[in-house]
């Protein structure tokens, strides 16, 4: 039986495992490879984001959205991102916090997509 996401170690696990899938993906891999030159600070930001989002009720800020605005992505990228995110969570976890992670990921993708649409992309 799988267990729920319980804290920082679980967040590190799912973030790292997500990127294993995403970097191998023919649609997402090139975007990440081009956009992220130093993985350590990027991963640290994501660990902090997901810990806050899951355990402190953090909301996505305009700064978070605008930091992605220069990426050459569209709905297909966000759909694929969400697919890999949910697969990663479902592979390792189940429970209330795991469901919250998937819901938060869907909300975040929706915000990014709304921003793309508003910018005419």
42: domain CATH number is 1.10.490.10
What gap in Å lies between CA 65 and CA 10, rounded to an integer? 25
Is 94 within the bounds of a domain? Answer: yes
Place of tokens 């992505």: 73
Nearest to 20 by CA among 87, 79, 65: 87
Residue 1 lies in a domain: no
- Domain carrying residue 85: 8-118
Q: Which tokens in the block code for residue 93?
A: 């976890």
54-90 pLDDT tens trace: 998 655 544 454 454 555 667 898 899 999 999 999 9
For residue 66 the two structure tokens come to 């605008």
The whole-angstrom separation of Cα 14 and Cα 46 is 11
Contact 20, 91 (CB under 8 A): no
3-50 pLDDT per residue, tens: 999 999 999 999 999 999 999 999 999 999 988 999 999 999 899 989
């Amino acid at each position: 039986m799988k267990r729920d996401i319980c804290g920082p170690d679980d967040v590190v696990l799912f973030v790292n495992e997500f990127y294993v899938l995403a970097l191998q993906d023919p649609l997402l891999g090139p975007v990440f490879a081009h956009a992220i030159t130093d993985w350590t600070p990027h991963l640290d930001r994501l660990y902090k984001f997901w810990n806050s989002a899951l355990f402190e009720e953090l909301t996505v800020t305009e700064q978070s959205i605008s930091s992605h605005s220069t990426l050459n992505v569209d709905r297909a990228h966000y759909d694929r991102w969400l697919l890999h995110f949910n697969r990663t969570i479902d592979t390792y976890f189940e429970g209330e916090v795991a469901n919250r992670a998937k819901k938060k990921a869907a909300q975040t993708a929706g915000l990014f997509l709304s921003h793309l649409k508003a910018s005419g992309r």
